[in-house]
Structure 1
Amino acid sequence: MGHQSCVKIVNEWDIVAARQLGRNVAKELGFGTVDQARITTAISELARNIYLYAGQGQICIEKLMENGKVGLKLSAVDSGPGIKDLRQVMQDGFSTSGGLGAGLPGVKRLMDEFNIETSVGVGTDIKAIKWLR
């Protein structure tokens, strides 16, 4: 395990490609349709953030096997501007784009584990895991 597939996010089509990849991997791992939808929604949010704020980055999807548990791990990495006020961004209902996106709090809610590392001027690295029930 530990094999990851990545999609470079440069334009809107890449967001679609990342979603597709996520759905395929989720299906392979045995996630049901509801969890597949949660995972693809999380990917959309993460990919869109990269596209809108960093200009480019990548989404990686990895199959996890830990202590007999199966999971899917999303990584969203960019070398964009970073997030100045992480607390504000993690508040529900906060959207910098004014879009309908659930933003990062939405991603955190959709997934089981969520971790974000960001430094202004360096970039952002977000990891999120969904475990198979």
Structure 2
Amino acid sequence: MITGVDLGQPQTQAVRADEDVVRVRQLVRTVAVQVKLSLVDQTKLVTAASELARNTLVYGGGGTVEVMTADNGRRRGVRIVFADSGPGIADLDLALTDGYTTGGGLGLGLSGARRLVDEFEIDTGVGRGTRITITKWSR
């Protein structure tokens, strides 16, 4: 388990191998605990992060994950940015369809990951990679 994460600084993890997906999960869990997300919300966030980190590796050819705290003036949360320079998502509407998966991940797909978090933004285009930002707020 990762300890002593500096919540004042975004934490970046390269995603180039399966072991890096595990490191992303550990980092997200550590920050979620420090921000005091509930156990249920920690689990939702870690699950979404795991799916998106695996997508970064498998479909994006690797990339980076940046984990940071967020504060909207009323509550704290965890914001995570997944970025790759892969081929991009050709049919975003299809990729966001419930139940759509190309296999290999947890079977959640992008739509499942989106349902597990409070905010979900995606910027993608053929030939320019994909950048997904998710946020989970404390209750």
Name the TM tier (shorter chain): over 0.9
Distance 1:25 1:73 in 2: 10
Show the 5 A alignment for 1:74-113. 74-97=80-103, 99-113=105-119
Structure 2 CA distance for aligned equivalents of residues 63 and 100 of structure 1 = 25
Match of 2:25? 19
Within 5 A, what are the aligned runs for 1:66-77? 66-77=72-83
Match of 1:51 in 2: 57
Gaps of 5+ in 1: none
How far did 1:66 drift?
A: 1.5
Q: Does 1:10 align with 2:16?
A: yes
Which stretch shifts more, 97-106 or 61-70? 97-106
3-state SS of paired residue (1:77): strand
Over the matched positions of the two proteins, sequence identity in percent amounts to: 43
CA positional deviation for 1:23 = 0.1
Which 5+ residue runs of structure 2 have no aligned equivalent? 1-6
Residue among 91, 107, 125 paired with 1:119: 125
Q: CA RMSD in A?
A: 1.3
1:65 offset after TM fit, Å?
1.3
TM-score (norm 1): 0.95
| Letter matched to residue 3 of structure 1 | Q
Counterpart-to-counterpart distance in 2, 1:54 and 1:98: 14
For normalisation by structure 2, the TM-score amounts to 0.91
